[in-house]
Structure 1
Amino acid sequence: MQHVAILTGNFLDKILSGEKTIETRWYKSRRAPFRSVSSGDTIYLKQSGGPVIARCAVVKSLFFEDLDRDRIADLLRRYGKEACIGEEMTEALAGKRYCTLIWLGEVTRLDAPFDIDKTGFGNMCAWIRVEDVDRIKR
């Protein structure tokens, strides 16, 4: 399976530099990539508003549900450093019920960045799951 992860802030730069080795996704309801990303999958990386500029392999993924503030704080303590997010995010994440942790490997900058067509996925979506990323290339 292939995925496109849309990133905000400086997270993409941190992935490219090797500082960020775990991608996290937090949601109030079940949605991709929750239970839909697996070891060996490929993730294409793009900055919000920009083209896809890199890809990486999924090394491992973990899924958590029925979260509360204490469990969120625990996850941030355990995995926050590799995810480049700190415990100060506990309050911002309060109310999120689902978490996906994705270990990233083999991060490679693409020689030819490309845009994608998000039609059918929703303008605000931050994660796209597809059989073949070529189907959504522009």
Structure 2
Amino acid sequence: MTTHVAVLKRRYIDLLLEGRKTMESRLSVTRREPFGIVVPGDAIYFKESGGPYRARAVVADVELVDGLTPRAVSALRRRVNSQVLGDPAYWQSKRTAKYATLLTFIELEVCSRGPALPVLAGRAWVCMPDRTARRRAA
């Protein structure tokens, strides 16, 4: 099992904890974490952007999509936005994405602690080395 840290805006973590947001989406122009790295059974800690850890879950399912076009991103939005709950600005900002990682999860729980993070340098997803994640989150 690998441990991941996903950084989200407060609004999206609130929706997650309310049970309304049931899928996390990561769309990017380049192939980057978590694409091709996250697998079912991995742990995800959800950290509020500029704030604390708020939740932890286990990945239930992963869907990877590559070769996206603006038209394919629009189709993806229609297919998954009832679970992702992305606002129009989110989808507009992702219209040129080429890669998508779609995650569903189980065992969602509130938490206030998580792995010690390296400097994020603008990254919103971090794959943690297993040893470090276990030691610091305990």
TM-score (norm 2): 0.87
Gaps of at least 5 residues in structure 1 are none
Q: 2:90 aligned with 1:92, yes or no?
A: no
Tell me the equivalent position of 1:101. 102
- Once residues 56 and 134 of structure 1 are traced to their aligned partners in structure 2, the CA distance between those partners, rounded to angstroms, is 15
Q: Which residue of 2 aligns with 1:116?
A: 116
Unaligned regions of 5+ residues in structure 2, if any? none
Greater shift in the superposed pair: 36-45 or 87-96 = 87-96
Match of 1:13? 14
In 1, distance between residues paired with 2:87 and 2:99? 18
The aligned length equals: 134
AA aligned opposite 1:51: P
**Structure 2 residue aligned with 1:45:** 46
Moved over 3 A (4+): 86-91, 134-137
- Give the TM-score normalised by structure 1: 0.87
- State the Cα RMSD in Å: 2.0
Structure 1 stretch displaced more, 53-62 or 125-134: 125-134
Deviation at 1:9, TM superposition (A): 4.2
Distance change (3 Å), C-alpha of 1:95 and 1:107: same
